[in-house]
Amino acid sequence: MRAPRGWSSSVPRALLLAVVTVAAWSAAPVPAQNSQNGQTAQAGVQISFQSPIPDTPLFGEIDLLVDVVGAPVLRVEFFLDGRKVGSVGRPPYQVRVDVGQENREHRIEAVAHTMAGSRTSAVLVAPPVIVNEEVSVALRQLFVTVLEGGRRILDLDRAAFRVVDEGAEQQIVTFERGEVPFNAVLLLDTSESMKGERLDAARAGARAFLSGMREVDEASLILFSDRLLAAVPFTSDRAALGQALETTEAEGGTAVNDHLYLGLKVLDGQVGRGVVVLLSDGYDVQSVLGMKEVLWKARRSQALVYWLRLRDKDKGDERAVFSSAWRDFTANGEEYEVLERAVLDSGGRIEDITAASQIEPAFREILAELREQYVLGYYPSNARGNGSWHEVKVRVRGTGKVRVRGGYVDR
């Protein structure tokens, strides 16, 4: 099992202790006028850290960002644990560094050199994770897509985000963006209705998704009708996945609920970002489970669910209107609506497919979206473990629109 970047959600909640110190000096020493939480004012210059956040353990790649106001500045130099890691001559005063994965204290210093020859510095000391065996609160991870003008944006830093859990703002302790490894379940409806052009397009779409995975990504393949037709456990072996695709034929009825539950269940043992990509019309006629049971499972998972919804282009937005041995017209309509809710609540989305030619581009677009997401991690400050539903909101600086999981079950 590979280790995810950042720090694992299996680490119990730390008692986060930090020491934030500030130091300042100039060519002619002047007492500091203001000193708190990684900021210093001296010699007509005020310098303060915007990133990283004080009191936060640091792992992997992070942004060092300071705000400097006052006298004209010639340059700002950055030091990590006594080693110079960058120098910036104009705003924004920001550098990106890799602090590594070792659980240790880090000392970060920013030194502003003014045109007059004076220097002002701010020092921030980031603590290690201190494990308290008596406290066990699971790290919550949020997979966030930010859109502006219909285009995904990926140039935001940690300070641009705010996470609110049940009305209480949370401290973001892990922050990643872009190439974050994932585990994907490709859940393909291969019932009788998929014969011919649809099945060929589904195979091509799945192949396109699998060929675009990186070495650190893994996928599981589930092909179903009214029963499980083929399944491949999580692997990065494209050949094994491809063989199951090519040798499975379309047959039988449709049991979406049972197999979506299975897709979520197999993600339970995986570490890191989990994704389910469902290709189906969503018309369930033979599942034993109801969608309420699947929604229950989805809300206890951190997985994103994407639904490539096969539609009849002549029916427009018409919902499921059919009866089956298990349910009447009304009940089937309700099942369909709960499936929509489960997908949207997860932070994923529904992509309508009205032609077989749209299937492969849709798979490629989901893969591109996974490459352009932010992963925010936090330890809920209001965790009770009582099974209650926690509503989560993510706000972002600027005009971008956020798509993210709507909440989770506190357990």
Q: Enter the tokens of residue 21.
A: 């110190």
Residue-range definition of the domain harbouring residue 108:
34-126
Q: Is 330 found in the same domain as 202?
A: yes
Of 78-92, 171-185, 222-236, 301-315, the one with minimum mean pLDDT is 301-315
Name the pairing type of β-strands 174-177 and 168-170: unpaired
Residues 215 and 77 in one domain: no
Task: State the pLDDT at residue 264.
Answer: 96
Burial class (CB in 10 A: 0-12, 13-18, 19+), 132: exposed
Inside any domain, residue 6: no
Reference 363, options 263, 221, 228, 243; nearest CA is 221
Token look-up 């282009």 returns: 313
Question: Residues of the chain with pLDDT > 90: what percent?
Answer: 60
Domain end: 84, 101, 126, which one? 126
Residue-wise pLDDT for 157-180, tens only, equals 999 999 999 999 999 999 998 878
Query: Is residue 14 a part of any domain in this protein?
Result: no
Count up the domains in the chain and report the number: 3
Which CATH number characterizes residue 39's domain? 2.60.40.10
- Mean pLDDT computed over 279-295: 90
Residue 340 has pLDDT above 70, yes or no: yes
Going by DSSP bridges, is the β-strand pair 182-189/174-177 parallel, antiparallel, or unpaired? unpaired
**Residue scoring higher pLDDT (383 or 396):** 396
DSSP assignments along 271-296, one per residue: -SEEEEEEEE----SS-SS-HHHHHH
* pLDDT of the residue at 145: 96
What is the SS3 assignment for 268? Answer: helix
208-227 pLDDT, tens digit each: 999 999 988 999 999 999 99
In this structure, are 378 and 348 located in the same domain? no
Supply the pLDDT for residue 322: 63
How many Cβ atoms sit within 10 Å of the Cβ of residue 379?
A: 21
Q: Is the pLDDT of residue 2 over 90?
A: no
- Give the pLDDT confidence score for residue 41 in this predicted structure: 58
CA atoms within 13 A on the CB side of 87: 6
Q: Are residues 351 and 205 part of one domain?
A: yes
- State both tokens at 189: 């409806």
Is 386 contained in some domain? yes
* pLDDT tier, 38 (very low <50, low <70, confident <90, very high otherwise): low
Q: Determine, yes or no, domain membership for 18.
A: no
- pLDDT of res. 271: 82
* Residue 308 in domain: yes
Pair of tokens at residue 261: 């539950």
pLDDT of the residue at 348: 95
Q: What is the DSSP string of 192-238?
A: GGGTTHHHHHHHHHHHHHHHT--TT-EEEEEEESSSEEEEEEEES-H
Same domain for 303 and 357? yes
- The answer on 190 and 171 residing in a single domain is no
In this structure, the answer to whether residues 281 and 343 fall within a common structural domain is: yes
Higher pLDDT, 346 or 15: 346
Q: 189 and 254 share a domain?
A: yes
Residue 172's Cα: distance from chain center in Å? 13
- pLDDT number for residue 387: 87
Q: What CATH number is attached to the domain comprising 277?
A: 3.40.50.410
318 has a pLDDT exceeding 60: no
Pairing of strands 161-165, 389-396: antiparallel
Structural domain contains residue 48? yes
Residues 102 and 202 in one domain: no
Question: What pLDDT was estimated at residue 101?
Answer: 81
CB contact set of 3 (below 8 Å; sequence gap of 6+)? 101, 271
**Residue 60 domain-assigned?**
yes
Give the distance from CA 71 to its chain's centroid.
41
- pLDDT tens by residue, 49-90: 999 988 888 888 899 999 998 888 999 999 999 999 999 999
Token pair listed for 367: 């893969």
Per-residue model confidence (pLDDT) at position 132:
47
Higher pLDDT: 116 or 362? It is 362
Tell me the β-bridge partners of 224.
189, 228
Same-domain check for residues 218 and 355: yes
Examine residue 1 and state whether it is found in any structural domain, yes or no: no
How large is the angle between the packed helices 197-211 and 359-370, nearest 10 degrees?
20
Q: Quick check: 336 pLDDT over 50?
A: yes
Q: Are residues 262 and 248 in the same domain?
A: yes
Helix 238-247 to helix 197-211 angle (10° resolution) is: 180
361 and 276 co-located in one domain: yes
Separation CA 403–CA 400 (nearest Å): 10
